[in-house]
Amino acid sequence: MNDYKKEFIEFMVRSGVLTFGDFVTKSGRKTPYFVNTGNYVTGAQMAKLGEFYAKCILANVDTKIDALFGPAYKGIPLSVAASIALSEKCGKDVSYCFNRKEAKDHGEGGKMVGYKLKDGDSVIIIEDVVTAGTSVRECLPLLRAQADVNIAGLIVSVDRMEKGTGDKTTIEELNEQYGIKTYPIVTVREIIDSIYNVPIDGRLLIDDTMKQRMEDYISTYCAC
């Protein structure tokens, strides 16, 4: 496992973003762990988060990137943070853009804010966690209505490795249906492997009991 992956897992825990217990996902599944990027609340956290996204982009995408797109709402600060990190830490000035939930009917109008996409642009979608892939599917027509763009990849914080509409993972479905490759900073399997029986700041988050609960969830809902 790359060092930045282990560091990212610890960062999520310390930020209160990765938690363990009893939760219910948007799809109604009872899950023993939860990832809530809305719990990043400080400038320092967002700066660090942007660095992790930037490292993931550089480690996986070897084509020129013209823009980062952040789906409203959680993708907006993520795309901005990643764009800043690419500029300040990596010397790569990459534009960003995002959508409005509702079209603006005054001023400049439209549903997009930020960089104006052009034909031939390579775009990376920046998301938090992909479960069913709904937001990605919804934003593709919007992006392609702006210009004939190439989706160079989807970057997410955590791949829960859950099944989509069939027996394959959502990430596999997105690749088969739209040709989009997804690059997670970490997967749920990497989370288990990294901190099972390994305390973080004196707290043991994945002991034998929690590991078994996570394995049970994976065997029921995931394809991995």
Contact residues for 220 (Cβ-Cβ < 8 A; gap 6+): none
Task: Report which secondary-structure segment, H or E, holds 95.
Answer: strand 95-104
Catalytic annotation, pick one of 30, 64, 104, 118: 104
38 secondary structure, DSSP code: G
Query: Which sign, positive or negative, has the C-alpha torsion 134, 41, 97, 148?
Result: negative
Q: Is 26 part of the annotated catalytic residue set?
A: no
* Tokens, residue 89: 């830490």
Give the three-state DSSP class for 206: strand
Q: Which of 94, 29, 98, 104 is nearest to 67 (CA)?
A: 94
Residue 146: φ, ψ to 5°: -80, -40
Q: Is 104 part of the annotated catalytic residue set?
A: yes
DSSP 86-144: HHHHH----EEEEEEEEEE-STT-EEEEES---TT-EEEEE-SEESS-HHHHHHHHHHH
Catalytic annotation, pick one of 106, 111, 118, 163: 106
Residues tagged active-site: 104, 106
